Structure 1
Amino acid sequence: MEVAAVPGEAFGPSGYLRFSYATSDEDIVEGVARIKKLITEG
């Protein structure tokens, strides 16, 4: 699974990220869990 993240300025206000994905709901849930782990554990 791959996820693309781009600065939100291209789509509206600054200070946000926009995520793009095209996969199953199960893969999205796993991806969000991985992102959460990266943010909380470094």
Structure 2
Amino acid sequence: MFSGNYNQIKNLFYKRFFVTRVSKNLYNKINVYKIFYKTVQR
């Protein structure tokens, strides 16, 4: 029972970690594009 719960928790942790990493990368890219767009507009 404990090992099953551990595997579920591990999978959830890896999924959450992966999603947060991808979303952070996207967020950083969007911020870079926004800054670039603002500098181009001036």
> TM-score, structure 1 length as denominator?
0.43
Greater CA radius of gyration, 1 or 2? 2
Q: Which structure shows the higher strand fraction?
A: 1
Of structures 1 and 2, the one with the larger relative CO (CA 8 A, separation 6+) is 1
Q: Which structure shows the higher helix fraction?
A: 2
> TM-score, structure 2 length as denominator?
0.43
